[in-house]
């Protein structure tokens, strides 16, 4: 799997200074439950 180097992720994060809003903020508040996120929860990037 291709992965961006940490420096590239930092550059992208600094260039995209906006709030994602609903539904992303709502989902972030949800408990990380396997019924919602399945077995892939540990693989999610929590940025």
**Segment 12-45, tens digit of pLDDT:** 888 877 777 888 888 778 766 666 667 776 677 6
Bond into 23 cis (ω within 30): yes
pLDDT at 32: 67
pLDDT at 13: 85
pLDDT at 7: 95
Evaluate if residue 4 carries a pLDDT over 80: yes
Give a yes or no: residue 29 inside a domain. yes
* DSSP conformation class of 30: S
Give a yes or no: residue 4 inside a domain. no
Give a yes or no: residue 40 inside a domain. yes
Torsion sign (Cα): 10, 11, 12, 17 = positive
pLDDT at 5: 93
Q: Regarding predicted confidence, which is higher, 23 or 4? A: 4
CA distance 31 to 20: 19
User: Residue 37's domain spans which residues?
Assistant: 18-47
């Amino acid at each position: 799997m291709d992965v961006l180097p940490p420096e590239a992720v930092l550059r992208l994060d600094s260039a995209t200074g906006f709030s994602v809003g609903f539904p992303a903020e709502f989902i972030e508040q949800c408990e990380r439950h396997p019924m919602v996120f399945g077995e892939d929860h540990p693989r999610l990037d929590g940025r």
